[in-house]
């Protein structure tokens, strides 16, 4: 009998990372109706910066802080320089390709600076034990951050403006909301969450393509949960993490990607907008 | 419509033969002096410089280039500078075929040296055979390269996974008798050929076999299963990153098996680099010495820590040409491979041809950096024929516990390797 | 002149041009020429799905995977079959998979479809691990396809012949594609892309149109994969990563969404952008890590710049150009 508890706990930690990166995707999707394919690369740059700071200082927390700040800057730059020019175009494909291009560029830049060799990246705390301090830190951080993001959106004036700018930019603009600024803030917020996800996902080893798989599962989680629903996405991330850990442990690791596909097909054939997504087609 | 019908008929006529029926294969060397001038010789290779397989392999060609620079600065081989062209295939077989066709058909390289990877290189062997291009020192321990009849142009380099596993299995049987053995293996020929070797020696002791996929870095399920099977010894047929993952994951589970690692994953310098940061935050019990001490590994090239004359030479070359790159077993691999090729060029003589290069390989005169002899002869194109076994002590230094042994890929015995081998001074490549 | 005849004449002209070109270029450039041919087919298929019908697929590589493995398996296990039978089988297998995917995806929109198709591209190649005996595990299949008619052995170099076969097949498929998309089906597809509700009101069967679009594009993808296997003699999971699917989609946009001409520019970009960037990187005395990653960076920058600066892709620019010239001559 396999050790189900260990598998579940391992899956929960993986799932937390999928949830965090998925949350970043959802925030951007809600703000600008764009699936940000550059998300793993933005997070990667931040994780590498954290790595460099860690190496220089021997600590962990300053690196994390630098990563979050870098995430904010990168998010703002991406929105202003690459996404905003596409807003008026109403073309679904253009932002997909631009963010893909950014993914390639940023991954390449990381490879140029830090080489393709894997770099060891520390955990925040002791990683030993089925539910180690490091795992607890990951799960708790993601849950707390997700809660904070939900609060921000649901219960603050800024959140109201953010939602208004995303859903009804014309009306929001008439009512004095600075729509452009709100969209930038949405991207900044998402990129900071993404940077956090990157730093949490990086251990033990960091290399230029290490977050690609995480991104695929994060997108899967977001699609399962509903791309415009943060709660659904976070649940989706945790459920997917645990499910894939069980598949790997009980059926074989080669079936993990197929299992993700199966889950996705099953969910989408029942609910084309994810489990918790709103099915009203909104075109902005 | 008539034109359409005509088109269809044309296509049908064009492909009337069976697609899988091989025509007359004109095996043999062609274009004897392609890529050779009086002052240079052009060689090529395909390596994963970017993409998911680049971590761990991208430094091989850096080591090789350093040796070629060293040779060239010493005047080259028979007055010829070696021009080493590295093509990035991203470990994608489609791109491997494209870049190798480019190297052969467009750049017209003299030989392909050290093409890396089984899924990749296996797709170009037939092409290189048909084109009559020497395909030497393949960077993979698969058995397929040793086929002098079917692919006469191809020669292996590193010890194959089966031979090596037989030697590790013998060590386990003798040094750890009666213990339960689990295997963590990559789900390709690295794992498959390795397990074939283990099965020849310690089949009955194996209690669990866990595959991992290189694209999936979560090996917690596999280590959990190994712990539950009661395995006291875990044989790791893995690349270095997954050896490190396995060791870390075992520490995470509080599982303390005896790790026995095949040569491709037992690079202590790389492992030390990968594991360095974890003790700082989780205490001395997961410091590098604590994690690695006691690990058993196999090797076939001189150890970076040893005072072997070859190591001394490689350290000199490293310090002069690539001081920024950490001197790992991977870099030494590239260096030893390049040195062996340069040696074969020298052996082939001043009037260099492809046939003479192949003859130099089959002559059996190549001896060098490796700790065991090559199998190279007219009958065998296998590379190194064995390995030594080492353990890691509490100061993360390696100690040989089993002197170099040789064996075959079948049921033959494991026997001590000849103790003498040429030194760099005896090979006297340059100067 | 009926559309079919016109398209066939265009295709014949193109084939003549390709054959002429193949005679003057070296053997390796013929390999590149053939690569442009099969990528052209794959990108054209995706153009029908994504450009014409508005279904963003991030998983088109899965259909190339199916086509390549079908040809590989047939070459190895049924060596007596001629290559055109293998290619038809590749088209059929991939077409069935495309119809199934289309049926499953008909209700999906935008990013949900994108996510599901991406999961397809990631998941499907894993079946090779599940059936390693048949599909070769991560090593995949390696084989040599012999197709040169006995009379031509020694007369026509292999790579030149391969370029002819690839282009003849691709052009034939393109004729079919052009005929379908300029006819009523093409109008229905555009209607579905522009507004599903209005299309349905106008009597277009939206679901059926989407499934057909998937089917057509999958047949093209399967054929392209089969041609790739024919050309390169390999079918391995490492060749059909999500990166391939994303590169195909990028090629659609680079060339110009929704036009079969655009597919040509996209295919040329797929083959020559990487190669050109590598030559460029080799041309400077750069540190190894920088040189290794420069091609990828260049590719990314080109994608970004093209989308930002040329909203209608390369074809859009050319069309604008030719229109201006026409106006100035009139």
Mutate to test the interface with A, among B277, B322, B324, B325 (most CBs of A within 10 A): B277
Mutate to test the interface with C, among A87, A100, A207, A281 (most CBs of C within 10 A): A100
What backbone phi and psi angles, to 5 degrees, belong to B256? Answer: -125, 70
Inside any domain, residue B286: yes
Residue B94 and residue C234: Cβ atoms within 8 Å? Answer: yes
List alpha helices for B236-302, DSSP H. Answer: 240-253, 268-275, 278-282, 288-292
Residue C236 sits at the chain B interface (C-beta within 8 Å):
yes
Mutate to test the interface with A, among C97, C127, C300 (most CBs of A within 10 A): C300
Which CATH number belongs to the domain containing residue B130 in this structure? 3.40.50.2300
Last residue of a domain, one of B277, B299, B321: B299
Inside any domain, residue B408: no
**C 90-119: CB under 8 A from B:** none
Q: What is the mean pLDDT of residues C74-99?
A: 95
SS3 B1: coil
Q: Which residues in chain B are closer than 8 Å to C86, comparing Cβ atoms?
A: 19
| Ramachandran assignment for C296, one of left (phi > 0), alpha (psi -120 to 50 degrees), beta (any other) | alpha
Which member of C80, C228, C288 has the closest CB to residue B18? Answer: C80
Which member of A3, A122, A248 has the closest CB to residue B218? Answer: A248
Same domain, B146 and B174: no
Q: Which residues in chain C are closer than 8 Å to B98, comparing Cβ atoms?
A: 31, 35, 232
- What total of structural domains would you count in chain B? 2
Residue B218 and residue A210: Cβ atoms within 8 Å? Answer: no
Residue with tokens 């493995």: C69
Inside any domain, residue C313: no
**Chain C, nearest residue to B95 by Cα:** C239
Residue B164 sits at the chain C interface (C-beta within 8 Å):
no
Inside any domain, residue B8: no
Residue B88: strand pairing partners: B47
User: Which pLDDT score is estimated for A283?
Assistant: 40
Which member of B14, B22, B97 has the closest CB to residue C146? Answer: B22
Check if the beta carbon of residue C46 is closer than 8 Å to that of residue C98.
Answer: no
CA-CA distances (angstroms) from residue C204 to B365, C144, C209?
76, 46, 8
| pLDDT band for position C218 (cuts 50, 70, 90) | very high
Inside any domain, residue B230: yes
* A119 to chain B, closest Cα gap in Å: 6
The pLDDT tens digits of the residues spanning C35-70 come to: 999 999 999 999 999 989 999 999 999 999 999 999
The pLDDT tens digits of the residues spanning A48-107 come to: 999 999 989 888 999 999 999 999 999 999 999 999 998 877 777 889 899 999 999 999
Inside any domain, residue B117: yes
Check if the beta carbon of residue C51 is closer than 8 Å to that of residue C252.
Answer: yes
Whole-number Å distance between alpha carbons of B125 and A214: 35
Q: What is the mean pLDDT of residues A246-272?
A: 91
Inside any domain, residue C35: yes
Mutate to test the interface with A, among C293, C305, C310 (most CBs of A within 10 A): C293
Token pair in block for residue B286: 């997961």
Residue A268 sits at the chain C interface (C-beta within 8 Å):
yes
pLDDT per position in chain B (431 positions), as tens?
455 555 555 555 555 567 777 655 556 888 899 999 999 999 999 999 988 788 888 899 999 999 999 999 999 999 999 999 999 999 999 999 999 999 999 999 999 999 999 999 999 999 999 999 999 999 999 999 999 999 999 999 999 999 999 999 999 999 999 999 999 998 888 888 999 999 999 999 999 999 998 888 889 999 999 999 999 999 999 988 899 999 999 999 999 999 999 998 999 988 998 888 787 777 777 888 899 999 999 999 998 888 899 999 999 999 999 999 999 999 999 999 999 999 999 999 999 999 999 999 999 899 879 999 999 999 999 999 999 999 999 999 999 999 999 999 888 999 999 888 888 888 878 76
Residue A10 and residue B218: Cβ atoms within 8 Å? Answer: yes
DSSP for residue B413: P
* A35 to chain C, closest Cα gap in Å: 7
Q: Which residues in chain A are closer than 8 Å to B244, comparing Cβ atoms?
A: 204-205
A277: part of which helix (H) or strand (E)? none
In chain A, what's the furthest Cα-to-Cα distance?
63
* Separation of first and last alpha carbons in chain C: 25
* A140 to chain B, closest Cα gap in Å: 19
User: Is the pLDDT assigned to residue A284 strictly greater than 50?
Assistant: no
Last residue of a domain, one of B284, B299, B314: B299
Mutate to test the interface with C, among A21, A105, A110 (most CBs of C within 10 A): A105
Inside any domain, residue C275: no
Residue-number span of the structural domain to which C12 is assigned: 3-240
**A 66-125: CB under 8 A from C:** 82, 85-86, 89, 91-94, 96-98, 100-109, 111-113, 115-116
Inside any domain, residue B427: no
Chain B: partners with 3+ C-beta pairs within 8 Å: A, C
- The 8 Å CB, 24+ separation contacts for B72-76 are B74/B429, B74/B430, B74/B431, B75/B430, B75/B431, B76/B39, B76/B40, B76/B430
Inside any domain, residue C162: yes
User: Which pLDDT score is estimated for B16?
Assistant: 55
Residue C151 sits at the chain B interface (C-beta within 8 Å):
no
Residue B119 sits at the chain C interface (C-beta within 8 Å):
yes
Inside any domain, residue B212: yes
- What total of structural domains would you count in chain C? 1
Which member of A227, A257, A261 has the closest CB to residue C111? Answer: A227
The pLDDT tens digits of the residues spanning A169-228 come to: 888 888 888 989 999 999 999 999 999 999 999 989 999 989 999 999 999 999 999 988
User: What percentage of chain C carries pLDDT values higher than 90?
Assistant: 67
Residue C84 and residue B15: Cβ atoms within 8 Å? Answer: yes
User: Which pLDDT score is estimated for B25?
Assistant: 54
Q: Which residues in chain A are closer than 8 Å to C297, comparing Cβ atoms?
A: 104-105, 108-109, 112
Inside any domain, residue C33: yes
CA-CA distances (angstroms) from residue A1 to A43, A131, B179, B228, C198?
38, 20, 22, 8, 57
Inside any domain, residue C256: no
Inside any domain, residue C317: no
Same domain, B46 and B109: yes
Residue B235: strand pairing partners: B183, B260
Residue B92 sits at the chain C interface (C-beta within 8 Å):
yes
Residue B94 and residue C232: Cβ atoms within 8 Å? Answer: yes
Return all residues near C27 (Cβ < 8 A) that are at least 6 apart. B105, C157, C158, C159, C160
Residue-number span of the structural domain to which B295 is assigned: 161-299
Same domain, B358 and B244: no
* B93 to chain C, closest Cα gap in Å: 6
Inside any domain, residue C220: yes
Q: Which residues in chain C are closer than 8 Å to A255, comparing Cβ atoms?
A: 126, 130
How far is residue C240 CA from its own chain's centroid?
13
Q: Which residues in chain C are closer than 8 Å to A268, comparing Cβ atoms?
A: 104, 107-108, 112, 116
Inside any domain, residue B415: no
User: Is the pLDDT assigned to residue A281 strictly greater than 50?
Assistant: no
Which member of A98, A212, A222 has the closest CB to residue C307? Answer: A98
SS3 B87: strand
Return all residues near B185 (Cβ < 8 A) that are at least 6 apart. B191, B192, B194, B195, B209, B210, B211, B212, B235, B236, B237, B238
């Amino acid at each position: 009998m396999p050790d189900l508890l260990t598998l579940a706990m391992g899956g929960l930690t993986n799932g937390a990372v999928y949830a965090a990166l998925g949350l970043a995707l959802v925030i951007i999707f809600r703000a600008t109706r764009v699936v940000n394919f550059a998300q793993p690369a933005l997070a990667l740059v931040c994780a590498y910066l954290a790595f460099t700071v860690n190496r220089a200082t021997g600590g962990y927390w300053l690196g994390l802080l630098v990563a979050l700040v870098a995430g904010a800057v990168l998010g703002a730059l991406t929105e202003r320089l690459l996404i905003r020019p596409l807003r008026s175009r109403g073309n679904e494909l253009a932002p997909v390709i631009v963010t893909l291009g950014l993914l390639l560029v940023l991954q390449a830049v990381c490879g140029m600076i830090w080489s393709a060799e894997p770099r060891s990246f520390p955990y925040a705390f002791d990683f030993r034990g089925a539910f180690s301090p490091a795992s607890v830190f990951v799960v708790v951080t993601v849950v707390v951050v997700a809660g904070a993001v939900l609060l921000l959106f649901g219960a603050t004036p800024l959140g109201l403006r953010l939602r208004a700018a995303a859903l009804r930019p014309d009306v929001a603009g008439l009512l004095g909301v600075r729509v452009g600024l709100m969209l930038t803030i949405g991207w900044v917020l998402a990129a900071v969450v993404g940077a956090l996800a990157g730093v949490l996902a990086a251990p033990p080893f960091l290399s230029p393509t290490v977050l690609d798989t995480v991104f695929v599962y994060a997108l899967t989680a977001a699609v399962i949960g509903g791309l415009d629903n943060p709660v659904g996405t976070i649940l989706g991330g945790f459920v997917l993490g645990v499910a894939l850990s069980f598949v790997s442990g009980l059926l074989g690791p080669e079936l993990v990607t197929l299992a993700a596909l199966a889950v996705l097909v099953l969910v989408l054939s029942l609910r084309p907008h994810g489990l918790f997504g709103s099915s009203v087609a909104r075109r902005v | 419509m008539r034109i359409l019908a005509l088109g269809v008929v044309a296509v049908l006529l064009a492909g009337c033969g069976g697609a899988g029926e091989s025509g007359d294969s004109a095996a043999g060397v062609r274009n004897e002096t392609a890529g050779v001038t009086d002052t240079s010789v052009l060689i090529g290779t395909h390596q994963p410089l970017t993409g998911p397989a680049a971590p761990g392999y991208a430094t091989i060609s850096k080591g090789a280039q350093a040796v070629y620079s060293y040779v060239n600065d010493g005047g080259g081989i028979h007055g010829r500078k070696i021009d080493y062209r590295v093509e990035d295939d991203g470990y994608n077989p489609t791109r491997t075929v494209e870049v190798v066709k480019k190297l052969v058909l467009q750049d017209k390289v003299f030989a392909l040296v050290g093409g890396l990877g089984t899924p990749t290189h296996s797709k170009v062997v037939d092409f290189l055979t048909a084109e009559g291009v020497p395909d030497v020192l393949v960077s993979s321990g698969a058995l397929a390269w040793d086929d002098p009849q079917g692919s006469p142009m191809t020669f292996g380099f590193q010890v194959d996974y089966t031979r090596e596993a037989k030697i590790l299995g013998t060590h386990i049987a003798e040094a750890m008798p009666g213990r339960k053995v689990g295997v963590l293996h990559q789900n390709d020929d690295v794992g498959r050929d390795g397990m074939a070797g283990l099965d020849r020696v310690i089949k009955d002791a194996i209690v669990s076999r866990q595959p991992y996929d290189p694209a999936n870095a979560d090996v917690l399920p596999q280590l959990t299963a190994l712990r539950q099977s009661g395995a006291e010894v875990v044989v790791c047929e893995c690349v270095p990153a997954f050896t490190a993952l396995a060791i870390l994951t075992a520490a995470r589970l509080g599982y303390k098996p005896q790790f026995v690692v095949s040569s491709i994953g037992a690079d202590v310098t790389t492992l030390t680099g990968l594991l360095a940061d974890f003790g700082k935050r989780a205490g001395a019990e997961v410091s590098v010495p604590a994690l690695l001490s006691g690990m058993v590994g196999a090797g076939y090239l001189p150890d970076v820590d040893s005072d072997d004359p070859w190591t001394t030479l490689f350290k000199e070359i490293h310090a002069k040409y690539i001081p920024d790159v950490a001197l790992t077993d991977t870099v030494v691999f590239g260096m030893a491979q390049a040195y062996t090729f340069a040696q074969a060029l020298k052996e082939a003589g001043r009037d260099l041809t492809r046939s003479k290069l192949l003859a130099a390989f089959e002559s059996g005169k190549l001896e060098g950096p490796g700790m065991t002899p090559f199998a190279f002869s007219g009958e065998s194109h296998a590379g190194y024929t064995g390995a030594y076994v080492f353990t890691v002590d509490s100061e993360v230094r390696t100690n040989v516990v089993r002197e170099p042994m040789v064996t075959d890929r079948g049921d033959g015995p494991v026997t001590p390797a000849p103790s003498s081998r040429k030194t760099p001074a005896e090979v006297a490549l340059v100067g | 002149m009926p559309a079919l005849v016109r398209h066939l004449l265009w295709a014949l002209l193109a084939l003549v041009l390709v054959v002429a070109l193949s005679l003057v270029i070296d053997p390796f450039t013929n390999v590149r020429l053939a690569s442009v041919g099969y990528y052209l087919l794959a990108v054209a298929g995706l153009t029908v799905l994504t450009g014409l019908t508005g279904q963003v697929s991030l998983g088109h590589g899965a259909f190339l995977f199916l086509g390549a493995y079908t040809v590989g398996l047939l070459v190895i296990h049924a060596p007596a079959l001629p290559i055109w039978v293998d290619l038809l089988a590749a088209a059929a297998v991939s077409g069935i998979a495309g119809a199934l995917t289309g049926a499953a995806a008909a209700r999906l929109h935008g990013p949900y479809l994108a996510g599901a198709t991406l999961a397809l591209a990631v998941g499907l190649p894993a079946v090779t691990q599940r059936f390693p005996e048949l599909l070769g595990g991560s090593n995949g299949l390696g084989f040599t396809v012999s197709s040169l008619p006995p009379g031509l052995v020694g007369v026509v170099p292999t790579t030149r012949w391969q370029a002819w076969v690839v282009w003849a097949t691709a052009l034939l498929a393109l004729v079919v594609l052009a005929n379908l998309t300029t006819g009523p089906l093409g109008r229905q597809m555009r209607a579905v892309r522009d507004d599903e509700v209005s299309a349905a009101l106008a009597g277009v069967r939206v679901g059926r149109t989407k499934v057909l679009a998937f089917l057509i594009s999958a047949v093209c993808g399967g054929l392209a994969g089969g041609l790739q296997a024919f050309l390169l003699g390999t079918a391995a999971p490492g060749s059909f990563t999500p990166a391939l699917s994303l590169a195909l989609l990028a090629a659609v946009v680079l060339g110009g969404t929704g036009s079969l001409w655009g597919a040509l520019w996209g295919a040329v970009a797929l083959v020559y952008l990487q190669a050109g960037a590598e030559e460029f990187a080799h041309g400077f005395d750069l540190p190894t890590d920088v040189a290794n990653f420069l091609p990828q960076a260049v590719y990314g920058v080109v994608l970004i710049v093209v989308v930002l600066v040329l909203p209608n892709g390369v074809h859009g620019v050319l069309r604008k150009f030719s229109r201006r010239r026409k106006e100035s001559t009139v």
